[in-house]
Amino acid sequence: MRNRRMIITISCAALATMVLVLGCVNPAQEQVLKGDNFFKQQQWDNAIAAYNKAIELSPELNTAELNTKLTEAYINRGTDYEATSDYDKAIADYMKALEMNPTISVVGLNTKLSTAYTNRGTTYEIKGDYDKAIADYSSALKMDLGFTNAYFKRGNIFLQRKDYDKAIADYTKAIETSPGYADAYYNRGDTYSKKGDNANAIADYTKTIELAPKTALTYDARGTLYANKGEYDKAIADYSKAIELDPQYIEAYNNRVDAYLNKGEIDKAIADCTKIIEINPNDATAYLNRGETYLHKGANGSAMADFTKAIGLAPRDAITYCTRGKIYQKLGDLDKAIADYSKAIELDPQYIEAYNNRVDAYLNKGEIDKAIADCTKIIEINPNDATAYLNRGETYYKKGDYDKAIADYTKAIDITPKLALAYYKRGDTYYKKRDYVKAIADYTKMIELDPKNGAAYYVRGLAYSKNVEKVKAEDDFSKARALGYQSY
C-alpha cells in the first residue's frame, strides 16, 4: 500500500527550522516540526495530532501549507485504515480531508472515498444489512459516478430483493462505465430471466460468452432458457459445452438429462445419470433421478434398484419412498406400496402426494374407510384443495354414501367453480339417486365447460332417456358419436 500514500518531502525551510536553537522556536512551531518528522516516518496518528496541536496553540499557523500537510496525513491514515478493512475510520479520514480542502484532487480522493464506501457496503452486505449496504454504494456513486463496482454491487442487492427493474438499471450503468464487464452482462441476463424476458436474457448470456468464453455457468444458464423455449437441440449443445469446460458440472448433466427426456432420447439420459453417479457415488438424488429415468423406459426393476439405493444413502428422504411406492403399486404389490407411502408420510406429515397415492392403493385393496381417512387428512392440511374434496367425494361414491359424495363435490365446485369433473361426478351421483333433473343440470354445466367431451353428452342422453325426453336423448347420443365417444 505504500505506493498509494502521498508522502511529501519536508521543505528546505522546515529542515532549516529544525536545526534552530530550541529557544528560538515557540511551542506551536515545535508541534509543526514534530508533525513534519512524524509525517516523514509515516506515523499518521502522531503527525495529525501534532499539526492539530500547533493550530490549537497558534491558529494563525493554519496556513495553506499546513492545511495541505494535515489533509494529506488524513488521506494517508485513511489508506492505512482501509488496508486493514477499518472502513468506518477510513471514510471518516477521507471525509475530514475533503472538509479541510474541498477542492483537493490529489491521488484521486474521490476514487478513494468511493472504494472505501463500496468496501464498507460489502461488509454490511455480508452481515445482511442490505439497507446500509445500498446507502454506502449510493454514497460511492455520489463521489464517483463512473465507479462500476458500486453499480454492480448495488444491482446484486436489488436482484436479491427481486427489485428487477432497479437491478437491470444498475447493471446497465455498470456496463456503460465498463463495456467489457462480463459479470454485469451475466447478472443482467439472470435478472431478465427471472422477469421472464428470455430474449434479452439470452442476448446478455451470449454477450457474456463472447467476453468470457470459458465460463461453464453461462452456457448452462443459456441452455436452460433454450430448453424453456422447447429448443432442445440448442439447449443440449449449451449443456454439452458447459460439461466440456467443467466435466464435474453435475447441474449441467442434470439439465441435459431433462432435455434428452423431452426429446425421447432415454438411453442418453440414463448415460448422463450414470455419469453423475460416477462423479459422486454417494449422491442419493443422482440415483433417484436415474431411477425416474428408468421409469420412462419402463425398466421398473432397474428403477426399483436405484430408488432402493437412494433410500440407503438418504433414509430420511420422503420423496424417494413415495416414488418407490409408485413402482410397487404399478407392479401390483399394494402392501409394499402402502408401506412406502406411509414411511414418506411419517417423514413429511404434510406430503399430500403421498396421501393421494396411498388413497389409490387403499381403494385398489378395497379399504375404503382408510382411503376416506386419508382424503380427510389432505383436507385438514389444505382446506382449499378442491381436488381433495373431489377425491373424497369419489371415495364416498364408491362406498355408496351418495349424500356425502354430493356434499364433497359441491364443496369442490364452491372452491373451483370451473372444475368440470366435479359437475360430471356430482351428475353421476344424482343419476344414481334417480334425481335425473339435477343430473341433467350438472351434465349440462360440464358440457358448457368442456363442449368436446363426448362422454358428457352420452351420460346426459341417458339422463334425458330416464326422464322420458327421448328426442333430447337421441340428440345427445348423436353428438357423443360425432365426438368419437364409442363406449356405449
> If pLDDT is split at 50, 70 and 90, which confidence band does 6 have?
very low
Neighbours of 336 (CB within 10 A): 16
Give the residue numbers spanning the domain of 429: 406-488
Give me the pLDDT at residue 147, please: 83
Number of H helices, E strands in the chain: 27, 0
Cα of 260 vs its chain's centroid, Å: 24
Spatial CA neighbour of 357 closest among 385, 400, 319 = 319
- pLDDT for 19 beyond 60: no
Average pLDDT, the chain: 90
Counted domains in the chain: 2
Indicate the burial class of 403 (C-beta count within 10 angstroms; 0-12, 13-18, 19 or more): exposed
Residue 119 vs residues 116, 124, 199, 216: alpha-carbon distances, Å: 5, 9, 34, 28
At residue 24, the pLDDT reads 54
HSE-CB of 13 using CA atoms within 13 angstroms: 3
Instruction: Give tens-digit pLDDT for 255-310.
Output: 999 999 999 999 999 999 999 999 999 999 899 999 999 988 999 999 999 999 99
**Most confidently modeled range among 112-126, 295-309, 440-454:** 440-454
Segment 147-154 shows an average pLDDT of 93
For 24-28, 82-86, 272-276, 395-399, which range has the lowest pLDDT when averaged over its residues? 24-28
Confidence of residue 123 (pLDDT cuts 50, 70, 90): confident
Q: What is the pLDDT of residue 201?
A: 98
Q: Which residues neighbour 296 within 8 Å (Cβ) at sequence distance 6 or greater?
A: 261, 266, 269
Tell me, what's the pLDDT at 389?
97
- Of 104, 137, 154, the one marking the end of a domain is 104
Pick the last residue of a domain from 53, 84, 104.
Answer: 104
Average pLDDT score over residue span 365-394: 96
Q: Is residue 477 a part of any domain in this protein?
A: yes
- Asked, for residue 1, whether it belongs to a domain, the answer is yes
CA–CA separation, 223 vs 206, rounded Å? 11
Q: Does 14 or 242 have the greater pLDDT score?
A: 242
State pLDDT tens for residues 47-100: 888 888 888 888 887 777 887 888 787 778 878 887 888 888 888 887 787 777
Residue 34 lies in a domain: yes
pLDDT at 382 over 70: yes
Residue 447 has pLDDT above 90, yes or no: yes
Phi, psi values for residue 21, rounded to 5°: -65, 135
What pLDDT was estimated at residue 120? 84
Work out the average pLDDT over 457-469. Answer: 95
Distance CA 298, CA 398 (A): 31
* CATH assignment at residue 71: 1.25.40
pLDDT(408) > 90? yes
CATH number at residue 440: 1.25.40.10
pLDDT at 106: 47
Confidence tier at 23 by pLDDT (50, 70, 90)? very low
| 443 or 11, which is more confident | 443
List helix spans (H) across 196-283: 198-211, 216-228, 232-245, 250-263, 266-279
- pLDDT over 90 at 20, yes or no: no
173: nearest Cα among 196, 157, 207, 150 = 150
Inside any domain, residue 380:
no
Q: Is residue 326 part of a domain?
A: no
Q: How far is CA 64 from the centre of its chain?
A: 56
Please report whether residue 35 resides in a domain: yes
Does position 341 have pLDDT exceeding 80, yes or no?
yes
Domain boundary among 89, 104, 119: 104
> Residue 114's pLDDT band (boundaries 50, 70, 90)?
confident
Instruction: Please report, rounded to a whole number, the percentage of residues in the chain having pLDDT higher than 70.
Output: 92
**pLDDT for res 146:** 80
C-alpha–C-alpha distance, residues 90 and 98, integer Å? 12
Q: What is the pTM of this model?
A: 0.69
Q: What is the pLDDT averaged over residues 312-334?
A: 94
pLDDT (0 to 100) of residue 159:
97
- Give domain status of residue 152, yes or no: no
Residue 22 lies in a domain: yes
Query: What is the chain's alpha carbon radius of gyration, rounded to the nearest angstrom?
Result: 38
What is the predicted pLDDT for the residue at 82? Answer: 78
